[in-house]
Amino acid sequence: MVVTVSIDGHEAEWKEALRSVRRGEEVLLTEGGTPVARLLPTGPPVAVHRRGGEDAGKVVIADDFDALPEWLIDAFESLGEGVRPS
């Protein structure tokens, strides 16, 4: 995948472009929409190291997550399929 970044881009765009290069992607630099240069990785992609449990407590699954709402059950039954969850 080629990532395109304007040379007039903001610092955040440049940082994201460098992250893309570290992942092994090619970055195309443009000026006024015209390609002017390419940034290429110098070696194999750098592995992203993640620690397990970093997002613990950030996601909550409701107790009724697996329950189908009555309106959806009715919609299936109205199709004549007789579909009803067990």
Split into its structural domains, the chain has a count of 1
Whether residue 3 contacts residue 20, with contact meaning beta carbons closer than 8 Å, is answered with yes
Please report whether residue 25 resides in a domain.
Answer: yes
CA dist 5 and 12 (Å) reads 11
Please report whether residue 62 resides in a domain.
Answer: no
Q: Which pLDDT score, from 0 to 100, does residue 52 have?
A: 84
Q: Would you list the DSSP string of 43-77?
A: SSPPPPP--TTTTTTS----TTTTPPPHHHHHHHH
Whichever domain contains 34, its CATH number is 3.40.1620
Judge whether residue 80 has pLDDT over 60. Answer: yes
Please report whether residue 13 resides in a domain.
Answer: yes
Q: Which pLDDT score, from 0 to 100, does residue 72 have?
A: 87
Q: Which pLDDT score, from 0 to 100, does residue 6 have?
A: 80
| Tens of pLDDT, residues 11-58 | 888 888 888 888 888 999 888 889 998 988 888 777 777 788 888 888
Q: Which domain holds residue 29?
A: 2-39
Judge whether residue 82 has pLDDT over 70. Answer: no
